[in-house]
């Protein structure tokens, strides 16, 4: 907690002393489980993400509606074929050893009660008894970086060129023990939206599974029906937000409030 308070003070100080700094969040050292994404090929702007058999610790980050110079991510994501197909090697893997810029523009949750970053730590495993539910909106309006667009195109065979878009993503969530369910609905402008992007990825992943398997296993792969299913592993994942100068003090004050609240709870 002292480290968080120190980081908050440094961030606030940098808001005055320098035009650029960052809010850095470790997302997870390791998170594994089974993943099911459904409802992708009906073009209704809604789909469902369900993760089960989760093992690991993860920090969920709620960001106030903020103008950002950039959002950067790093880490490794591996996807595995669904059972009963072999799980020995990932069918899809993407790794960023250093922070990759993925977005610049406005991003956040338009909640007047959220004055700073809120970090929600969760720990999953067979013995977990945590439960919760809720709903929030994510508003975005900005540019996806050319490097990230290129990485997407190389990964799932698309030919995306438009790096600007805006929209609202509504998330209804529940978590219980070692599972999480997300009901996603979206409105968007100037780009294809997340449902269509995931739909393209799902069709590509199905072909990747077929190509990776030898007969007769490749004949066991069902046709693509708007569902992505399989195992996943997220390792050494981190995210970094770089606010515009006017928003930087808000980050520092939000982190300071988070640290202070944690210290009060420890005293009690």
Of the pLDDT bands very low, low, confident and very high (cuts 50, 70, 90), residue 260 is very low
Residue 168: predicted pLDDT? 98
In sequence order, which ranges of the chain are alpha helices (DSSP H)?
2-17, 146-156, 193-212, 245-267
Distance, in Å, from the CA atom of 37 to the CA atom of 47, rounded to the nearest integer, reads 7
End-to-end CA distance of the chain: 15
Distance CA 91, CA 97 (A): 20
Q: What is the pTM of this model?
A: 0.81
pLDDT(22) > 70: no
Residue identified by tokens 């009906």 is 42
The pLDDT score that the predictor gives to residue 252 is 47
At which residue do the structure tokens 């799902």 appear?
Answer: 202
Q: 205 versus 35: which is more confidently predicted?
A: 35
Contact 25, 119 (CB under 8 A): yes
Are 146 and 20 in contact by the 8 Å Cβ rule? The answer is: no
The CA-based dihedral angle spanning residues 80, 85, 88, 92, taken in that order and rounded to the nearest 10 degrees: -30
pLDDT over 50 at 262, yes or no:
no
> Over the stretch 167-216, which tens digit does the pLDDT of each residue have?
999 999 999 999 999 999 999 999 999 999 999 999 998 888 888 888 88
Extents of the domains making up the chain:
21-245
- What are the distances in angstroms from CA 22 to CA 236, 250, 252, 256? 19, 12, 10, 14
Q: What is the DSSP string of 43-78?
A: -SSEEEEEEEEEEEEEEEEE-BSEEEEEEEEEEEEE
Helices 193-212 and 146-156 sit at what angle, rounded to 10 degrees?
40
């Amino acid at each position: 907690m002292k480290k968080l308070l120190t980081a908050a003070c440094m961030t606030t100080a940098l808001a005055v002393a320098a035009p650029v700094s960052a809010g850095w969040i470790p997302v997870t050292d390791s998170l594994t489980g089974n993943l099911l994404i459904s409802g992708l090929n009906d073009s209704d702007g809604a789909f469902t993400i369900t993760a089960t058999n989760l093992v690991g610790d993860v920090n969920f980050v709620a960001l106030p509606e903020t103008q950002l110079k950039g959002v950067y991510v790093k880490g490794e994501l591996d996807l595995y074929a669904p059972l009963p197909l072999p799980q020995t090697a990932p069918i899809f893997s993407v790794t960023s050893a250093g922070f990759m810029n993925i977005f610049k523009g406005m991003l956040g949750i338009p909640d007047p009660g959220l004055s700073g970053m809120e970090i929600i730590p969760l720990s999953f495993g067979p013995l977990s008894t945590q439960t919760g539910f809720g709903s929030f909106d994510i508003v975005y309006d900005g540019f996806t970086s050319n490097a990230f667009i290129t990485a997407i195109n190389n990964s799932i065979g698309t030919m995306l060129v438009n790096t600007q878009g805006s929209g609202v993503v509504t998330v209804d969530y529940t978590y219980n023990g070692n599972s999480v369910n997300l009901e996603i609905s979206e409105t968007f402008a100037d780009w294809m939206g997340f449902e269509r992007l995931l739909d393209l990825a799902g069709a590509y992943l199905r072909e990747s599974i077929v190509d990776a398997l030898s007969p007769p296993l490749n004949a066991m792969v069902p046709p693509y029906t708007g569902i992505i299913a399989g195992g996943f592993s997220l390792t050494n994942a981190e995210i970094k937000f770089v606010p515009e100068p006017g928003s930087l003090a808000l980050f520092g004050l939000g982190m300071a409030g988070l640290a202070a609240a944690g210290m009060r709870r420890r005293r009690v």
